[in-house]
Amino acid sequence: MIKKCLFPVAGYGTRFLPATKSMPKEMLPVVNKPLVQYGVEEALAAGLNEICFVTGRGKRSIHDHFDISYELEHQIAGTDKEDYLIEIRKVINSGRFASTRQLEMKGLGHAILTGELLVGNQPFGVILADDLCFNDDIGVMAQLVDIYRRTGSTVVAIQEVEEKDVSKFGIIAGVEEEPGLYRVTDMVEKPAPSEAPSNLAIIGRYVLSPFIFEVLRHTPPGKNGEVQLTDALLTLARTSKVLAYKFKGQRFDCGSVGGFVDATNHVYQNIYLKGRK
Ligand code: G1P
């Protein structure tokens, strides 16, 4: 059974400065809920209720968000404002939360390896909160967990992207074994369009075997001088099976201002307003 979900949340969020100067980018609200809460809810919906944060300096408000605020509870107890806390109370009651700090920003692979302390020797999910995903019924993490249960293989979520955008992602090449499910044969982190093996881009959802930690320990810095999870996954794909799944649903790139605005409009129209009817 997969129980843990790792959230690398140590990044600086430079694209959102000055908003992120003294506030973690993961706490930026998409309408009325911080970005990271959407990811945590997706993990919980997939049955992953041990939430592990790899944080950095200045990220305290993430911990506070997943804790009880006694003053606030006391202040609004018995008023109609209590309704606003229903969702977050549910999250706090259904999850367990732990964190460790990444001391230096040395890439996603390094962040995942830092999380070994919290994950230990068991398969685990990874959610990059910047990639905000929605699906009407089964969430993207639950889709991956389902594939892992069925196959026992490490699996990453992918989507087709335009050729001009391949350099923003890890790109895979693979053999389609079932509709939408590929066995990975190659993987490149942020290739130039001319060097991309396909237009199938990794998005920020993974279910990883704990063996990835051993591989990461021996993975040298790659693209941009950072330890890349994509490079470690390629090593894994060469010795065992790595799958890539064209997930069902919609993804918004909340690491970019445009994607964040699109996500905000989507949530406002399709979730927030509907919830108030
Ligand atoms: C990371 C990964 C990349 C993946 C992307 C998805 O890159 O390194 O392989 O395609 O997330 O969002 P980042 O966007 O953090 O630079």
At 52-89, the pLDDT tens digits run 999 998 899 999 999 988 888 888 888 988 888 888 98
Cβ-Cβ contacts under 8 Å for 157 (sequence gap 6 or more): 140, 143, 144, 202, 203, 204, 205, 206, 244, 245, 247
Judging by DSSP bridges, how do beta strands 50-55 and 131-134 pair with one another?
unpaired
Tokens representing residue 170 in the block:
């890890």
Q: What is the pLDDT confidence band of residue 1, given thresholds at 50, 70 and 90? A: confident
If you take atom 11 of ligand 1, which residue's CA is the nearest one?
Answer: 204
- Cα separation, 246 vs 251, in Å, equals 12
If you take atom 6 of ligand 1, which residue's CA is the nearest one?
Answer: 203
Site of tokens 């109609």: 80
pLDDT by residue (tens digit) across 213-267? 999 999 999 999 999 999 999 999 999 999 999 999 999 999 999 999 999 999 9
Q: How many domains does the chain have?
A: 1
Site of tokens 């993974």: 206
Find, among 133, 243, 229, the residue nearest to 190 by Cα: 229
Q: How far is CA 235 from CA 123, 181, 244, in A?
A: 17, 19, 15
Residue from 110, 168, 203, 231 whose mutation best tests the ligand 1 pocket (most atoms within 8 A of CB): 168
Torsion of CA 143, 146, 151, 157, to 10 degrees: 20
CATH code where residue 144 lies: 3.90.550.10
Q: How far is CA 63 from CA 30, 39, 72, 153, 237, in A?
A: 18, 14, 16, 32, 35
- Our answer on whether the CB atom of 252 is closer than 6 Å to any ligand 1 atom is no
83, exposed or middle or buried, with CB in 10 Å at 0-12, 13-18, 19+? exposed
- The CB density around residue 57, as the number of other CB atoms within 10 Å, is 10
Distance 229 CA to ligand 1 centre (A): 9
Whether the full predicted model's pTM is greater than 0.85, yes or no, is yes
- Cα separation, 123 vs 129, in Å, equals 19
DSSP three-state, residue 98: strand
- Cα separation, 207 vs 126, in Å, equals 6
Is the confidence at residue 277, as pLDDT, over 80? no
- Our answer on whether the CB atom of 13 is closer than 6 Å to any ligand 1 atom is no
- Our answer on whether the CB atom of 196 is closer than 6 Å to any ligand 1 atom is no
pLDDT by residue (tens digit) across 199-208? 999 999 999 9
Residue from 108, 133, 159, 256 whose mutation best tests the ligand 1 pocket (most atoms within 8 A of CB): 108
pLDDT by residue (tens digit) across 160-201? 999 999 999 999 999 999 999 999 999 999 999 999 999 999
CA gyration radius for the chain?
Answer: 18
Looking from the CA of residue 230, the nearest atom of ligand 1 is: 9
- Domain hosting 182: range is 4-275
% helix, strand, coil for the chain, step of 5: 45, 25, 30
- The CB density around residue 223, as the number of other CB atoms within 10 Å, is 16
Q: What is the pLDDT confidence band of residue 126, given thresholds at 50, 70 and 90? A: very high
Backbone angles phi, psi at 213, to 5 degrees: -65, -45
